Amino acid sequence: MSKYPETYAAWQSDPMSFWAKAGQQIDWFTPATSVFNAESGVYGRWFDGATCNTCYNCVDRHVDAGHGERLAVVYDSPVTDTVQRFTYSELQQQVSALAFVLRSLGVTKGDRVVIYMPMVPQAIFAMLACARLGAVHSVVFGGFAPQELATRIDDAAPKAIISASCGIEPGRLIAYKPLLDEAITLSSHKPDACVILQRDTLTCDLTAGRDYDYGHTVAAAITAGEGTECVPVLATDPLYILYTSGTTGQPKGVVRDNGGHMVALKWTMENHYDVKPAEVFWAASDVGWVVGHSYICYGPLLHGAATLVYEGKPVGTPDAGAFWRVIQDHDVVAMFTAPTAFRAIKKEDPSGALIADYDLSKFRTLFLAGERSDPATIEWAQAKLDRPVIDHWWQTETGWAMSGNPVGLGAFPVKLGSPGKPMPGYDIQVLDDAGHAVPPGTLGNIVCKLPLPPSGFPTLWNAPDRFISSYMAEYPGYYATSDSGIIDEDGYVFIMARTDDIINVAGHRLSTGAIEEVIASHPDIAECAVVGKADPLKGQMPLGFFVTNDGAGLDAAELEADLIKLVRSKIGAVAAFKCALEVKRLPKTRSGKVLRGTVQKIADGEAFKMPAAIDDPAILDEMSDALRARNLIG
Ligand code: COA
Ligand code: AMP
């Protein structure tokens, strides 16, 4: 029997006691004056008045408790043919020395540090070193182009940047240093220092007076016996800023605090993921995403478990057996990835034959999130792995699952297509556009009654007004998730689609507005629209439509090639922008709003209702013709 119902009911009847008890799992320097202060912040603040240090809880306390020899970080990199293991004592030494280097470069409590790194263990050390100093890190995904990095540098105004000489994608080396240099040239804010990890695969020149060699400086600090103690911060002080796509080109800086974040993540390790200290947990994501923050870095380490840093892909490094090899080699007990990774594996190894080549006896549960899990993928994974496959739903804004199926409490039956039921802390409701609750089973806007639980974002960096207007204003008293869906009679949540202009490509959250801004900057383009077209592998792919200026110099094919190059150079490879169609005009309402929702339905070959306010219905036929001419619809 699952203990979920009684656990959720315990939270509902006394949320303060619930979180106070969860808070006992964290080592505080001084306790909170109130578990929840409703008067502070926009909707209240968790563990108000407490002082703590996240790095201390992730690293030092395990060493102090006599677990220094326990495995903390495993690095498995098929792209460099490397496996490295770090115990908690070794992790402490690396992190403390790097924090010393950063402090020598002037980084102190409250300063921001941007981290732009591939999937190497030093990315984790960098995050923890910032936390140790009370500095606020902002990790930028390596697949973003210099312009995107520059935007984040300008917003976060970092004192230092930690980066590497290169990243390695299958068949392609990415020289990070020129990208970093270009970003710093583009940004108005300039960091005082950059700490660069030189990788053997491709080294880079360092800029005199600004750049420091990560390996040399950390090794010198260790040799000299230098290190740093953990700096006490308020539980409500920021731990990190993570930029995520908004509806415009300006990303939103989601702020995460220290105290509530630790409490929530620690609770999930045991109760949701059913992982015990000293076991190996693997989130096959990237440190640049929230999943990487919560479950490659902080969650497993807060719990005294080992985390796995994987620099590879589900397929192609070298084949579709890569995940099974890693699970076997490192005794992984639970794994977390995006459904797209499983679709990629299924495509290459439909019968799952490669699974039989590996010993998965330690492996207990597969967790999926980041995008909608299509039932076919879940069923395939269930059948081939013969283990529970658990979908759970969350957002960068929350830092942990809003709905799921807590395996540690005893899983309840899975309903295909549903990422489970609301987690303790989340009062999830479905409202119609006027803000009224809808009956069970009815599609509507998914909201969460305030306050958000521990780890919920208290604000947006440098944008408190946008925090209110984007999330809090539409349904007063509720956090608007911008997801639509239903809650059925049994309390299962179903997430159907975003209600804004965000699309989800291979589990990556992208703004169609940001892509449109880049396309519109081309001198030949009069106007454009980008929608997310359903894709069997990546979930969605961006699809562009453009209208040219009179007298445009290039033909449609040349323009398409130009636009693809432009998006890649301005946003990055991660945008996966591969297709742009010329049309004579875009379908709009009489007030001039582009009907993206209808265009998306046409692109997906779905039935649609003619929008009442459409200016000229004939334009929809023109869109269909353009799609048909490229064989994108039947
Ligand atoms: N640095 C630089 N470039 C990167 C990058 C990084 N860290 N990560 C991805 N890219 C590049 C890819 O090489 C690709 O470039 P290409 O257009 O030259 O091929 C592009 O960005 C698009 O990447 P992606 O959409 O991830 O496609 P892919 O073909 O490389 O891989 C999957 C497809 C399904 C295997 C891959 O997306 C995957 O493993 N996804 C897991 C999902 C995930 O991690 N989600 C995070 C939230 S849980
Ligand atoms: P991100 O902030 O990048 O984690 O993206 C969050 C968005 O991804 C959510 O708003 C959803 O649209 C989508 N998402 C995440 N997890 C799931 C899931 N399990 N099922 C459906 N959609 C999901």
- Distance in angstroms (rounded) separating the CA atoms of residues 411 and 271: 10
Mean pLDDT in residue range 86-100: 98
Residue 574 Cα to ligand 2 midpoint, Å, equals 17
Asked whether 272 and 92 are in contact (CB, 8 A), the reply is no
Whether residue 249 has pLDDT greater than 80: no
Mean pLDDT in residue range 548-559: 90
Whether residue 634 has pLDDT greater than 90: no
Asked whether 177 and 196 are in contact (CB, 8 A), the reply is yes
- Distance in angstroms (rounded) separating the CA atoms of residues 303 and 60: 12
**136-139 and 428-431 beta bridge pairing:** unpaired
User: How many Å separate Cα 188 from the centre of its chain?
Assistant: 26
**502-505 and 508-511 beta bridge pairing:** antiparallel
**DSSP 8-class letter at 225:** T
Query: Which pLDDT belongs to residue 248?
Result: 75
Closest CA to 515 of 563, 482, 554, 587: 563
Query: Which pLDDT belongs to residue 275?
Result: 98
Q: Tokens in use for 65? A: 């408790």
201-216 residue pLDDT tens: 999 999 999 999 999 9
Whether residue 272 has pLDDT greater than 90: yes
Sheet order of strands, 428-431 included: 428-431, 444-449, 478-487, 493-498
| Amino acid making up residue 527 | E
Atom of ligand 2 nearest to the CA of 291: 4
Residue 302 Cα to ligand 1 midpoint, Å, equals 28
Whether residue 32 has pLDDT greater than 90: yes
Residue 56 Cα to ligand 2 midpoint, Å, equals 30
Query: Which pLDDT belongs to residue 264?
Result: 98
Query: Which pLDDT belongs to residue 246?
Result: 80
Closest CA to 430 of 449, 441, 416, 446: 446
Whether residue 465 has pLDDT greater than 90: yes
Mutation to probe ligand 1, out of 345, 515, 574 (largest number of atoms < 8 A from CB): 574
**444-449 and 365-368 beta bridge pairing:** unpaired
- Distance in angstroms (rounded) separating the CA atoms of residues 23 and 302: 12
Residue 285 Cα to ligand 2 midpoint, Å, equals 14
Residue 574 Cα to ligand 1 midpoint, Å, equals 6
**Ligand index nearest the alpha carbon of residue 145:** 1
Asked whether 268 and 296 are in contact (CB, 8 A), the reply is no
How many helices (H) and strands (E) are present in the chain, helices listed first?
Answer: 20, 31
Closest CA to 379 of 342, 421, 336, 424: 342
Mean residue pLDDT of the chain comes to 96
Q: CA angle at residue 276 from 270 to 277, to 5 degrees?
A: 115
Q: CA angle at residue 316 from 315 to 318, to 5 degrees?
A: 105
143-199 residue pLDDT tens: 999 999 999 999 999 999 999 999 999 999 999 999 999 999 999 999 999 999 999
585-605 residue pLDDT tens: 999 999 888 999 999 999 999
Mutation to probe ligand 2, out of 272, 285, 367, 371 (largest number of atoms < 8 A from CB): 371
Query: Which pLDDT belongs to residue 553?
Result: 82
The confidence band for 252, taking pLDDT boundaries of 50, 70 and 90, is very high
CB atoms within 10 A of CB 439: 10
Return the sign of the alpha-carbon dihedral for residues 425, 430, 434, 438: negative
List alpha helices for 134-258, DSSP H.
146-156, 176-186, 214-223
- Residues contacting ligand 1 via CB (< 6 Å): 142-143, 167, 169, 174, 285-286, 289, 291, 313-315, 337-338, 340-341, 344, 370, 505-507, 538, 573-574, 576
Whether residue 552 has pLDDT greater than 90: no
**DSSP 8-class letter at 553:** S
107, with CB counted inside 10 A (0-12, 13-18, 19+), is buried
Query: Which pLDDT belongs to residue 613?
Result: 87
Query: Which pLDDT belongs to residue 20?
Result: 98
Whether residue 247 has pLDDT greater than 90: no
362-390 residue pLDDT tens: 999 999 999 999 999 999 999 999 999 99
305-328 residue pLDDT tens: 999 999 999 999 999 999 999 999
Query: Which pLDDT belongs to residue 633?
Result: 92
